[in-house]
Structure 1
Amino acid sequence: MYVDVKTPLNLVFTARINGEIFEDDFKIALDKIQQKHPLLRVSIDDTTKKYPFFVEEKEMASIPIRIVERTSDEDWLLESEKEWYRIFEDNKKPMAQIVWVKGATISEILWVLPHCICDGTTGVTLMRELLALLDDVSLELNPYKDFDSVNDFLPTDFNFKKKKRKARFYLLIAKLFFLMQSKNSNTNQGKNYALHRKLDVTVSKKIVEKCKANGISVHALLCSAFMQAFKEIQGKKAKGKVISPVDVRHFIPEIKQDYIFAFAPTVELLLDKDNNDLLSNAKHIKKDLIQKIKKMQVRELLWMGENMHSVVNSMVSVLKSSRGSHDVTLSNMGKINIRGGYKNFTLETIFSPTVAFPWLNSNTLVTTTYNEQMDFTFMSNENFLSKEEAIKIKNKAIELFIS
């Protein structure tokens, strides 16, 4: 997710509020948030050692705010797309930015952070803390100590000798794989874009009820619907596979819900290509997901990752030039736990995060639910998937999803 010093890869998380907020309160709130979270006080050193690493800056500047005049309900999405290309290159400034799309009564607040320091849960945490402090700047947040290394997560009986042999084996396999892939020169040269859709309460409830009645999860139905949509729109070009990130906090309780963290283990979920029944495929996906999550050794995955730094450049090169074996990366963040009522404003809604991956296959779907409304953002690149075709896929998937 770091890629390199010249490549932006930012996550943008947006909330819409109705009411009055003040710039001075923003500054107080952001200083308190910055003092709580260590990763909001670091820079990335990519010159001192062989591989890049975080360095805490003793004299770090405050989190900046960019204020934009609000002219329409779509401004947040336009500003979000602009922030995809922000590069956090000044070591004395934090790897975080606030954009305030400011209207007379309605405003959008955008958190912008590099994906290498945050995941979707981080965005929820930071938005929750910011809104609470904008409502009452006297609130205090409890700082925590950052982790020193992946060794902090290892069990006491971790067999380093055995695992190092395993790591060397996987490293050798990875080097051979990337060596075979290195001749591909395709890269994305097109324009990144984001599509957005929010379902109303009635439709969103209907989907949840359908899932309960059929013994499936909303996530499984989402995967089934979008893979089926790719199949119907793209035909033989469709892969019938979804990559789905999972919140690392489910596996490592030391990483608290309100900690900033950036590692997300993933699972691959497959569509039964000979079966066009949406619910049947959803049941299959749910079963497959449960089994794969049970088998996950996330602490070991973290440790193994630290032994793979020497192939990261090759990995990035392949991601930038390979069409991949999946249709879409689908991140379902579920219900967003942020209260709606405050003294001087209300939280109207949450928009699913946006992100522009620099990979050739940049198809990404993020979903959230807030106030019983499901929300979707679908991102890709014109060079890989035309916007017109993406609209067809999105519309077909939602049609299948809500039917």
Structure 2
Amino acid sequence: MKRRLLFGERMLLGEGKEPFHAVIPFRLRGVFEEKDIQYALGRLQKKHPWLRANIHIDEKNVPWFEVPEQTSPIPIRIVDRKSEEDWQQESMQEWHTLFDYKNKPLIRLVWIKGNDSSDMLLVFHHCLCDGGSAITLIYEFLKVLDDPTADIGMENPILGIQDVVPAPILKNNRQRFKAKMIGRLATLTIKCIPVSKKAIDRQTDYLIHWKLDQTTSQQLISHCKSLEITVNTFLSATVLDIFKNVRGDKAFNKVSCPVDIRRFAPQVKEDHIFAFGLMIVLSSNPKLDFLDNLRLMQNYVDRKTAKLNPYITMMVMESAHNALNSFTKLLKRGKSSNDCMFSNLGRIQIPHQYQSFTLETIFSPSVLGPLGNTTTMVTSTYQGVMDFSFVGSEGYLPYHEALAIRDELIDSIKRRLNYQAAS
């Protein structure tokens, strides 16, 4: 079984010499055996063919996912647990540890082993899958770890664009012509944009983590519902405000928000191993106050998402493979134009209590790659608690400014909730 990497996947892979990794840590209360963990990982590989795949580069220098006859198990690295913060250091180490993509799977597990409490880190190359896929993998892994006989089904894997874009669209001459022309225009534009000879020195990478307490988390969700504003829009607007306050003229007033393709392409199932995303860029109006900006931004989000078309987007990108190198250079060497990427995974619906262990918490994923500004904030909610991971690099956002952004973000949320309660 094999398939050619799509444009976005090739971009994330690059030449395979620079890591572009996502890490999702979670904490378990219980006692575990390595053989049981390996068995559960093996069941994931049995269900999902691409978890067994290596990457093969053909004679035209095109990468393919390919499942070999003799597959390698998902590697496990075991570390003795010394503190509750070990997972942060191990996450940062995993960002920079390359996958041997020609010979081994593009996924691995780190087990920070304690006596009765363990942290586990699911690590994968971002060209393999997105955060939504990874959350499903954790759900399935824990289900089998708890009950080796559990049925997790079998994935019918995506074998190419034809498994995502409906045939009436993919074979429509008008749509194909439109996609090709947009792709050619984008290719020409990208090749004409001047870039520097060297990539920006991103210097030291860092990870900042925090949680809102359960009361504050629930108040925030309720407050957004009362305003008829999504939590994502509220937090995006707040992030834009805080970047402006902390960075002043260095702020760009732009935040990029990934949108799950599964909302618009029902062909991509929850348990599909897939790494294609859509994007919306948000900005605030400096002439408006926070509440008016919220309404304006929510209206923009609603209109923009209504127009998102994953099918045409995929067709355009697939027509632009010859622009891949130029696009990658632009991302690596071009000037940064946004403050950060902000991603809200929303409520994670994975059981808390199992027969032989407890899932105490899931930490929000962290992602780091070589394509431009690394500043990324990811939030998720588990057991009613909102969790944040904030990734950055000194060359883009100094660490002391990132700490100030975290502190002001927490303070701003609580201040607005307190004002709402008082009024």
Fold shared per TM-score above 0.5: yes
Corresponding residue number in structure 1 for 2:241: 228
CA drift at 1:71: 0.5
Counterpart of 1:380 (choices 388, 392, 396) is 392
* Distance in 1 separating the partners of 2:358 and 2:114: 14
Instruction: Output one character per residue of 1:15-74: Cα deviation in whole Å (capped at 9) or x when no partner.
Output: 111111211111111111101012102112234334322122221111111000011111
CA drift at 1:90: 4.6
1:25 partner amino acid? D
Residues 110 and 121 of structure 2 are in contact (CA less than 8 Å); yes or no, is this contact kept in structure 1? Answer: yes
* Distance in 1 separating the partners of 2:318 and 2:189: 19
Gap runs ≥5 in structure 1: none
Residues 188 and 320 of structure 1 are in contact (CA less than 8 Å); yes or no, is this contact kept in structure 2? Answer: no
SS of aligned partner of 1:258: coil
TM-score (norm 2): 0.91
SS of aligned partner of 2:381: strand
Residue correspondence of structure 1 range 3-402 to structure 2 within 5 A: 3-158=14-169, 160-184=172-196, 185-275=198-288, 277-402=289-414
Residues 116 and 262 of structure 1 are in contact (CA less than 8 Å); yes or no, is this contact kept in structure 2? Answer: yes
Instruction: Output one character per residue of 1:309-368: Cα deviation in whole Å (capped at 9) or x when no partner.
Output: 111111111111223321111110000010000112111111000111213311111000
SS of aligned partner of 2:400: helix
Residues 18 and 347 of structure 1 are in contact (CA less than 8 Å); yes or no, is this contact kept in structure 2? Answer: yes
* Distance in 2 separating the partners of 1:130 and 1:380: 29
The count of residues paired between Structure 1 and Structure 2 equals 402
* Distance in 1 separating the partners of 2:187 and 2:132: 32
* Distance in 2 separating the partners of 1:390 and 1:181: 30
Residues 88 and 95 of structure 1 are in contact (CA less than 8 Å); yes or no, is this contact kept in structure 2? Answer: yes
Instruction: Output one character per residue of 1:77-114: Cα deviation in whole Å (capped at 9) or x when no partner.
Output: 11011111122225332111000011111111110000
SS of aligned partner of 2:153: coil
Identity value in percent? 35
* Distance in 2 separating the partners of 1:48 and 1:11: 29
- Give the CA RMSD over aligned residues: 1.6
Gap runs ≥5 in structure 2: 1-11, 416-423
SS of aligned partner of 1:265: strand
Worse-matched range after superposition: 126-135 or 332-341: 126-135
SS of aligned partner of 2:77: strand
Residues 195 and 330 of structure 2 are in contact (CA less than 8 Å); yes or no, is this contact kept in structure 1? Answer: no
* Distance in 2 separating the partners of 1:401 and 1:224: 11
Worse-matched range after superposition: 51-60 or 20-29: 51-60
Instruction: Output one character per residue of 1:166-189: Cα deviation in whole Å (capped at 9) or x when no partner.
Output: 333323333333333343134234
* Distance in 1 separating the partners of 2:319 and 2:172: 12
